[in-house]
Amino acid sequence: MNTQKIIDKIIKTSQGSIDELVNILHFDCDAYLFSVANQLRKSYCGDEIHLRAIIEFSNHCRCDCSYCGINKQNTTLDRYRMRPEEIIDYAKKAYLTGYRTIVLQSGEDPWYTTEKISYILQEIKKFGDIAITLSIGERDYDTYKQWKLDGADRFLIKHETADEALYNSLHPHSSFKNRMKCLKNLKELGYQIGSGFMIGLPGQTLKTLAKDILLLKELDVDMAGIGPFIPHPKTKLQNHPVGSCYLTLKALALTRILLKSPYLPTTTSLEVTNIKDRKNAFYTGANVIMRKVQPYKYRKLYEIYPNSTIHEKSIKEERKEVEDYIKLIGRKVSTTRGDSIKK
């Protein structure tokens, strides 16, 4: 079967084999793939682009991820923690600027106990109709359960790579099995779940990427973040090359045609590697963009990879800039929370 036929078959059946996905990732079929992914984005999700405010509230981390600049071994990084009141205050600023989803992200930082996160969730929920996504790593079932009761709507915890051996070698502090368990627990508790992976990890092949996309399908995710790996000088992978933006766009498009309705952000790592490709992602299946809203002094310190795109702009200025861009490309700015379309 030629590549175009395989794409048509996947669109029709929402099923694909590893070999079929590898074929698409390998062969030059991007014009067709991107165009059908864009059409499917339009028919399943519409023309709205969802803006999410992200507060990266702590760069303390107990983990030792080989790729991540805030890993615990990096002793050169100035560490910060936002106080609960400060987090709530910035979430309020974002809400008043028009954001209807707040993503609370951090390193895995046990200083934020179950109770502290519960308090933050309850206070943010008092603002009005606002969705909260947590992205704070691995915790036990009862903790996730409590946060769901306190008002958390979604949880983003990427599987990073579907290759179990590779996952375990990159994450000596944890395991692929535990990551999967967390995702399963979150789903069972009724969260809208987000997973995702990096493109360009050492030892990764097109077959691994095919498995990554199929795993998103198996997990039945509501959202998925797919971005290129970017080397950070204070990590074990400092000399490993940056991941391919082109392959990132193909993986994004393939995820759109296989899964149809998930929220797919154009990731910050895509912007850092190539702003043009971040914009292109809106034509290859993406329908979400996130904006950092914590104070500038903290934005610079949340350095998971070197990022020269951080500017000292106000929350309002940044939002206006993105809104203008969305309108310029003929799309609409969503004014809703942007909950899972499946639900």
Q: Using CB under 6 A as the criterion, which residues of the chain lie in contact with ligand SAM when the complex forms? A: 67-68, 105, 107-108, 135-137, 157-158, 160, 198, 227, 229-230, 232, 269, 304-305
Length of the chain in terms of residues written = 343
CB neighbours of residue 3 within 10 Å: 17
Q: Which residue, 10 or 199, has its beta carbon nearer to ligand SAM?
A: 199
Q: Which residue, 56 or 123, has its beta carbon nearer to ligand SAM?
A: 56
C-beta of 340: minimal distance to ligand SAM in Å?
A: 19
Helix or strand or coil: residue 266?
coil
C-beta of 72: minimal distance to ligand SAM in Å?
A: 12
- Beta pairing partners, 134: 104, 155
C-beta of 62: minimal distance to ligand SAM in Å?
A: 9
C-beta of 97: minimal distance to ligand SAM in Å?
A: 23
Q: Which residue, 16 or 107, has its beta carbon nearer to ligand SAM?
A: 107
Distances (CA, A) of 120 to 123, 151, 180: 5, 10, 26
**Residues with Cβ within 8 Å of residue 268, at least 6 apart in sequence:** 227, 290, 307, 309
Q: Which residue, 95 or 197, has its beta carbon nearer to ligand SAM?
A: 197
C-beta of 321: minimal distance to ligand SAM in Å?
A: 23
Burial grade of 202 (CB within 10 A; 0-12, 13-18, 19 or more) = middle
Host H or E run for residue 277: helix 275-280
Q: Which residue, 45 or 226, has its beta carbon nearer to ligand SAM?
A: 226
